[in-house]
Structure formats: C-alpha cells, structure tokens
A = this chain, B = another copy of it.
Amino acid sequence: MIEDKNQQRTQLSDLGEFGLIDHLTKNFKIKQASTVKGIGDDAAVLNFKNKKIVVTTDLLVEGVHFDLTYVPLKHLGYKAVIVNLSDVFAMNATATQITVSIAVSNRFPLEALEALYAGIETAATIYNVDVVGGDTTSSNKGLLISITAIGTLEPNDEVYRNSAKPNDLLVVTGDLGAAYMGLQILEREKEVYKVNPNNQPDLEPYTYLIERQLKPEARQDIIKLLKDLKVKPSSMIDISDGLSSEIIHLCTQSQVGCDLYEEKIPLDPAVISSCEEFNIDSTTVALNGGEDYELLFTISQDDYPKIKANPNFTVIGYIKEKEAGLHLVTRADNRIPITAQGWKNFND
C-alpha cells in the first residue's frame, strides 16, 4: 500500500520528451488489422474498411479521480484504459485502438511512469486494443491521464441512450456499489495509516470491494454474450457515475419514465456487510456510488426469455411513459423520485 522510498529513481529530464515516449511505448505491439500506422508519426493511420467507428475520451486527474496514496500506478494505468473501453462497449461496439496522453510533474521518476504504462499495456493486451498514439508532457502538479478509445460497429449494431421505449425492461449487469465501498475501505485505511504507519491492516475480507475499486473490468464479455443470445438492447449506457445518474441520462434522452425496484438491485454480500459496518444504506451506495463500469440497458419484453436464466443479468425495473416520471419503488412499496447524486466533482 505504501511506496518503497528506496526504489530506483531515474529523472524524466534524463530522457527528454521523445526519448520518454519511445521508452514507454517500445513494447507495445500492433494486434488489430485496422491499425495501418501506430505510434511514431504526426498521427496514427487506421483503416476500418466499411465499418462505422465510435470515439470516446476520458480525463483522470490526480486528487480528483484517484489518490496515489493507495492506488498503485500499474492499477491506475489499467483502470484508465477500462474507463474508456467501458464507453465503447456501452455503444455495443468492439474496442480496437486507444491513444494515451499524460501530464506528469517532475516528482515522478521514470520507474513510476513505467509502472503506469505497464498497466496500460496489460489492459491493452487483455482487451486486444492497440495503443496508437499519445502525448507526454510535464505538469506543474500531479498526474493527469487522458485516453481516447476507438471501436468499430457492425452494420446497425449501434445502441444509443435515447431509444428506450415504454414497457421495455431495465436490465443491469453484474452487481453495484462494490467499487464505492472499496473506496471507503481504502480511505479508512489511509486515515489509520496516518495515525499509525506500522499498523498492518487485514484487508482480506474486503478483497472483492478493493478489487472492484482498483482494478475494474469493462464488460466486453456482455457485448459478445448479447450477440450470442441475439439480443439487441433498445438503449444502453455504462455505469460510471452511479445507477441513478445513468437511469436519468437514459430516460431523459429517451423521453420516458421508469420504475426501479429497490429489492431487485443486485448487491454482492460483501457490499451488504460493509454497508452495515460503515452504517450506510446499501441502496444509496448502489444508486450513487459509481465506478462499477457495469452496463445498464433496456430490452423489449419479447427478449426477456433470452436473458431470464442468465446470471449476468438482473431485471431491475421497467420503462414507462414520460409523464409517469422516474421512481424508485422501495421494499416498503413507497415510490420515491429518482434524483441525480452522481459524481459532482466541481462541488468541493
């Protein structure tokens, strides 16, 4: 959890910008047939033949999106890629390439950037995407990572946020709230460490939660599974800011309402027990926690038999007419309007 102060340190200025990019990217291999030219020119050249493409970009800022006190740099590199790939999959697309730009202060030695890029390379390898470009520059303070991801769509495969229809079922993959609870555990341990640096925390009971926070996965498998099941969602979005925030996006853009059933929201037992430990309501965590990178989508009721037996999917509600509004139906059968509590990172 804590940096080794005696680790090897090579100053970034020893390499210069071009040397640094070359050094960090020299192991990156081109795997995609669509990558004609990768890193090393003014721009990458890509050939998607007749396929439509998707493009998405995300910015991760130290102190806003991550805390290097407990986030290992290799995990951070991995997660930065995942965050972007998740957006590609949320379009029902196949991820193919990424570009990676970083701004980094001189407090980081070369070895830190090597760890960051090792994480990026690991994610690129596992998800079969090529790193085709980027930019590396200095910052006055901290670390910032900007990744752009590109993917391809088969004809008519695109799934937007704005096409949910009344009576569609609202479906979510995996379980929710674990990434947020992982963050609470890590924040708590950070405070304990400040008081007693020699304390050896037992994090074993929280393995799943911490892994969901530090090393999330993007649901590439779901996109494949939906194709195999011959289910094309009527709308889809990934859950980065929290379930309630994403439901609002989806319903607002589709001009529909919805009923979400509290009792249906999928929670891992570790989320339930840690919520009890922290004395937080697990539904609130699932609704507002964010960073789960699960997929939220709607399907026609006709498709329900195709997904019904599958443990990857949970039907959590259904779409209604716009006039009905957006509501959480609680276990006590109360109807509470759904409001956005997503990650408002300008509010500090």
* Residues of A participating in the B interface, judged by any CB pair closer than 8 Å: 12-13, 15-18, 20, 36-37, 40-50, 52-59, 61-65, 86-88, 90-91, 93, 97, 99, 101-103, 106, 132-135, 137-142, 144, 146, 148-151, 153, 158, 160-162, 236-238, 249, 253, 340, 342-348
Cβ–Cβ < 8 Å partners of A158 in chain B: 36-37, 45
B59 touches A103 (CB 8 A): yes
Q: Nearest B residue to A36 by beta-carbon distance?
A: B52
* Min CB–CB distance A342 → chain B (angstroms): 8
Residues of B within 8 A of A153 (CB): 45
Number of identical monomers bound together in the oligomeric complex: 2
Q: Are B140 and A56 in contact (CB under 8 A)?
A: no
Q: Closest chain B residue to A101 by CB distance?
A: B59
Tell me the minimal C-beta distance from A230 to chain B in angstroms: 22
A50–B49 touching, CB < 8 Å: yes
Question: Is there contact, CB below 8 Å, between A344 and B17?
Answer: yes
Contact B135 A59 (CB under 8 A): yes
Minimum CB–CB distance from A96 to chain B (whole Å) comes to 11
Residue of B nearest to A135 (CB): B59
A323 to B90, CA, bound (A): 53
The residue in A43, A54, A141, A340 that gathers the most chain B C-beta atoms within 10 A of its C-beta is: A43
CA distance A238 to B42 in the complex (A): 7
* Nearest chain B residue, comparing its CB with the CB of A252: B18
Q: Given the known A-B contacts A17-B345, A37-B160, A346-B16, are A148 and B55 also in contact in the complex, defined by CB atoms under 8 Å?
A: yes
Q: Given A93-B43, A160-B41, are A99 and B138 neighbors across the interface (CB < 8 Å)?
A: no
Cβ-closest chain B residue relative to A347: B13
Q: Are B345 and A138 in contact, with the CB atoms below 8 A? A: yes
- Residues of chain B within 8 A (CB-CB) of A48 are 48, 53
